[in-house]
Structure 1
Amino acid sequence: MKKKYLALAGRIRGELSELEKVVERVLEGWKRAKQTGDDFYLDSVALNLHSIYTGLERVFELIANTIDQSRPEGQNWHQELLRQMTVEIPLVRPQVISVETRNNLDDYRGFRHVVRNVYTFNLNSGKIKHLVNNLPKVFSQVKNEINVFIQFIEARKGENKEI
Structure 2
Amino acid sequence: MKEEIKLLKSKIIDDLQSIKRIYDKLNREKGKIENTPNEAQSINIGYYLHNLYNAFENIFLNVADVFENQVKEKSRWHYSLQKRMTLNIEDIRPKVISKEASNYLDELRRFRHIFRHSYDYEIDWERLKIVLKKADKLQGIYEKEIRDFIGFLDKLSEQDNAG
| TM-score scaled by length of structure 2 | 0.90
Distance (Å, rounded) in 2 between the aligned partners of 1:108 and 1:117:
14
Distance (Å, rounded) in 2 between the aligned partners of 1:4 and 1:39:
44
> Paired residue for 1:144?
144
Note the 1:126-141 alignment, pairs <5 A: 126-141=126-141
Cα contact 1:15–1:59 (8 A) shared by 2:
yes
* Counterpart AA for 1:118: S
* Counterpart AA for 1:80: S
CA shift in 2, pair 1:73/1:37, >3 Å:
closer
Alpha-carbon shift at residue 33 of structure 1 (Å): 3.1
* Counterpart AA for 1:90: E
> Paired residue for 1:103?
103
Cα contact 1:23–1:52 (8 A) shared by 2:
yes
Q: What is the count of residue pairs matched by the alignment?
A: 161
After the TM superposition, which segments of 4 or more aligned residues of structure 1 sit over 3 Å from their partners?
none
> Paired residue for 1:9?
9
Note the 1:2-151 alignment, pairs <5 A: 2-34=2-34, 37-119=37-119, 122-151=122-151
Unmatched 5+ stretches in structure 1: none
Cα contact 1:72–1:81 (8 A) shared by 2:
no
Distance (Å, rounded) in 2 between the aligned partners of 1:45 and 1:105:
16
After superposition, the CA RMSD in angstroms is: 1.9
* Counterpart AA for 2:115: V
Cα contact 1:33–1:39 (8 A) shared by 2:
no
Cα contact 2:108–2:135 (8 A) shared by 1:
no
- Where 1:27 maps in the other structure, the secondary structure is helix
Distance (Å, rounded) in 1 between the aligned partners of 2:86 and 2:113:
21
* Counterpart AA for 1:126: E
Unmatched 5+ stretches in structure 2: none
| TM-score scaled by length of structure 1 | 0.90
Deviations 1:129-150 (A, max 9, x none): 1222332331231221111000
